[in-house]
Amino acid sequence: MVKCKNTKVSRMSKNIIDKLKKHHLLGRGGAAFPTYLKWQMVKDIKADKKYIVCNGSEGEPNTFKDGFILQNYPEKVVEGVKIALKTIDHSLAYIYLRKDYYKKYKKILEKLIGDLPIIVFEEKGSYLSGEETVVVQEIEGKLARPRQKPPFPGQAGVHDCPTLINNLETFYHVANIADNKYEDTRFYSLSGHIQNKGVFELPANWSIKKILEETNNLPSDNNFFVQSGGGASGEVLLPKELDKSVGGVGAIIVYDHAQTDLYELMREWLDFFMVKNCDKCTPCREGTYRLREMIKKRELDQEVLKELFFVLDNTSFCALGKSISTPLKGLIKKLLK
């Protein structure tokens, strides 16, 4: 195993990091962490080896923006990673892709990469593999389970070396910022009971309502609801609540209330989380099972629900368990009164 050793940090222009800060670019993988802070931290740490990871796992249901970018702008992705390599000394990069993206885009990316120190890496697991510490585990050839944080990957990631991990879309925007072509946009995956499904690049500060209006996807009546952020962990919103921006990974799913079995929808979410969790921690494993059994019976015990949500929110080991309650709480409170 490669282990890092301390060394002196080389003097390198902070031009791109200054630009990332100026444009207030936030990560597009869900956490919305300021990109320049990640880059600055990894750049400043003294180490003889560093890693850069372009994370294209994209396992959240009804989210397909990264696939759209790979299909239409692979050169931008590679350029963004190349800029990171130039900015962070002693670095080796990975473009980390879920299985179907790897099969479809590996050759295209490798042709663009040429002799650059960038490896196109196939994800070994599935949904949870997109979590940053699981990314590190898989690159090291270890079990796809999350690590304790801190230390964070930026401090001690792949082989205990400082590791910069950003979403694939983030690297696309880095390339545009470097070329002075960034216009404060982000990609949105639109799906559900709408006419114009697909991926749209639109201003990052637009509200959900405006996005639906501008893409001709806003339902004509109020008998619908929206899931914003992702198709499993996203927040459930009513028509009157759409004057807010999109969080998470930029997904908007529209549901026709009359055509949607709410219990079936919740069961689908919980089936997803049961299959995709790693079974490492009891709250996530057992809590998801108990919630699913309750939903299957279509009998909601509010006190038990409250207890299960509290345990998931406060004791789950990683973000997967903590995210399970978000859509369920919203749907139950707003639509199953």
The tens digit of pLDDT for each residue in 92-130 reads: 999 999 999 999 999 999 999 999 999 999 999 888 888
* pLDDT band at 256; cut points 50, 70, 90: very high
Within this chain, domains 15-178 and 185-257 share the same CATH topology = no
Mean pLDDT, rounded, for 120-145: 92
Per-residue model confidence as pLDDT tens digits over 291-320: 999 999 998 999 999 999 999 989 888 877
**Predicted confidence (pLDDT) at residue 197 exceeds the cutoff of 80:** yes
The strand pairing partners of 207, in sequence order, are 245
pLDDT at 14: 55
Q: Where are the beta strands (DSSP E) in the chain?
A: 50-56, 91-97, 118-122, 163-167, 185-192, 198-203, 224-228, 235-237, 251-256
* pLDDT band at 8; cut points 50, 70, 90: very low
Alpha-carbon dihedral angle through residues 100, 103, 107, 112, given to the nearest 10 degrees: 20
Domain residue limits, the chain: 15-178, 185-257, 262-335
Domain 15-178: top CATH class: alpha beta
Give residue 272's region: left, alpha or beta (phi > 0; psi -120 to 50): alpha
Q: Over the chain, what is the mean pLDDT?
A: 92
**Predicted confidence (pLDDT) at residue 337 exceeds the cutoff of 80:** no
Domain 185-257: top CATH class: alpha beta
Q: What does the angle CA 259 – CA 263 – CA 268 come to, to the nearest 5 degrees?
A: 95
- Name the nearest CA neighbour of 324 among 279, 277, 282: 277
Cβ atoms within 10 Å of 277's Cβ, excluding its own: 22
Domain 262-335: top CATH class: mainly alpha
pTM of the shown model: 0.92
pLDDT at 33: 87
Mean pLDDT, rounded, for 135-143: 95
